Each structure stands twice: as structure tokens, then as C-alpha cells.
Amino acid sequence: MDAEDWRGRWTEGRTGWHEPEGNAGLQAAWPPLTDNTHVLVPLCGKSPDLLWLAKRGHEVTGIELSKIAVRDFFVENAIKYKLVKGDCLDCYSAVDLPLTLYCGDYFEYSGSGFDALYDRGALVALPPDLRERYIEHTKNLLRPGASRMIVTLEYDQAVVSGPPFSVPAEEISGYWDDLVCVSKKDDIDNCPPKFRAAGLTDVKELVWFSA
Ligand SMILES: C[S@@+](CC[C@H](N)C(=O)[O-])C[C@H]1O[C@@H](n2cnc3c(N)ncnc32)[C@H](O)[C@@H]1O
């Protein structure tokens, strides 16, 4: 899927990955980081996880291609924002919360020094060739020793194609060898209908965290 495909999914309301109650893995396993930790949330959609992290006292920055997703996030959560248009990305800053969403291509985003990464639905949204580029870019945005939580999926990629893609454990260790799997649960009920239609019966959601 390219940028137009993703924007098209938002225009058509085909956003089956969206979790209205937020991600259970995040809520169960997010560590007690200090309040002003600056958390990077790549490819954030309009996830309630953004708000959950901000309400924990963290400073949250998300990056999302779709203007519909970004605006829906603020409107649906009744959060006032200020918009500053940029050359590559537009910046939407919440007025009463430490939360900023940049609307545009993640690979054009150039921040630095983030203390933590929260990735749900980002790495798994990308095909293998783009995943390497995504990890390199993300590493450049994080400070050394930053905390990282990544939510991934595992299933038989030979049965059905992504997105969302299956990302094997060896691939995760190849990116960061200090990540450990802190939870692994059945996710067949939450997966795209095309997975079940293709005959998949085993889909797992894994939560990885830096040790
Ligand atoms: C599978 S969704 C996950 C959204 C969110 N993380 C969640 O858990 O609900 C992937 C999101 O990434 C966005 N996206 C895809 N490519 C992107 C890119 N290059 N830069 C920024 N956002 C991108 C899509 O528009 C989509 O909202």
C-alpha cells in the first residue's frame, strides 16, 4: 500500500485496525516511566493510545499521513488544537495536553531525542523492504537507551498477504537485540476478515519491550 492507498482507506472508512478502546497490551505492560517522558508514536492513526499515554503525564508526538485521521482524533476526543502548516508536515498541537500530531509522511519527519517509542500498527503495516528503512529512521529519532514498546503480529505469511504483516521474532531481534516478548495472545478474533477467509486459524499478537 502506498500513501494514496492509506489515505483512501481513511476516506472510505476502511480502518478495521482501529481499536476504539485502545490497545490492551499497552495498558497492561507500559512501564512506570517518568511523567515528562517524550514518547514517539509513528503511524499513529487516530488511536486512543495517544490519549492514554498523554494522560499518563507523558509528552506524546504522533505522526500520521491522513488528515482525516488526525482531525478525527482531535474532534472525537473533544481536544482543542492549534494548527501550524509546514512544508512537509502540518503540526497539530493540543491546547490543554502535551500532545502533538504531525500530519504527513513519517519518513519526512525530522525530530530527535525521543525518550520512548510506542509502536502498534506501524511496523506491521509496512512490507519487509520498508520495515528496514522504518527502523533506521526510528533509531535516528530516539535518544540512546530509549524505552521501546512494539506490538506485532505472527501468523503464516504464506497463507495470506499483509498488511498487517507477520513480523517474525528473529526479525525483531535483528532490529534490536534487547527487546523481549512480554506478552503473546491469540488475536484471531481481532484480525482482518481476509485472514479468516484465507483459512488462517492461528494469529498471535505479541508485545515487545526493551529490557
Ligand atoms: C495499520 S494503521 C495503524 C494506526 C495506529 N497505529 C493504530 O494502532 O490504530 C497504519 C497507519 O499508518 C498510516 N501511515 C502509513 N504510511 C505512513 C507514512 N509513511 N507516514 C505516516 N503515516 C503512515 C496510515 O494512514 C494508517 O493510519
- Report yes or no on 146 lying in a domain: no
Residue 191 lies in a domain: no
Residue 53 included in any domain: yes
Element (H, E) at 130: helix 128-141
> Model-level pTM?
0.97
Q: Which of 65, 109, 187 to probe ligand 1 with, by most ligand atoms within 8 A of CB?
A: 65
Looking at the domain assignment, is residue 90 inside a domain?
Answer: yes
For 71, the domain range is 1-11+34-111
Locate cell 511496523: which residue? 123
CATH at 6: 3.40.50.150
Q: pLDDT of the chain along its 211 residues, tens only?
A: 999 999 999 999 999 999 999 999 999 999 888 888 999 999 999 999 999 999 999 999 999 999 999 999 999 999 999 999 999 999 999 999 999 999 999 999 999 999 999 999 999 999 999 999 999 999 999 999 999 999 999 999 999 999 999 999 999 999 999 999 999 999 999 899 999 999 999 999 999 999 7
Q: Is residue 172 part of a domain?
A: no
Distance (angstroms) between ligand 1 centre and the Cα of 3 equals 9
Q: Distance between CA 23 and CA 34 in Å, rounded?
A: 21
Give the C-alpha separation, 127 to 137, whole Å.
Answer: 15
Whole-Å CA distances, 91 to 84, 102, 134, 139, 164: 5, 5, 21, 22, 27
Q: In 3-state terms, what secondary structure has residue 165?
A: coil
**100: Cβ below 6 Å to ligand 1?**
no
Nearest protein Cα to ligand 1, atom 6: 44
DSSP readout, 61-92? Answer: EEEES-HHHHHHHHHHTT--EEEE--SS-EEE
Any domain includes 22:
no
CA 210 to ligand 1 center in whole angstroms: 22
Phi and psi angles of residue 151, each rounded to the nearest 5 degrees, phi first: -105, 120
Residue 105 lies in a domain: yes
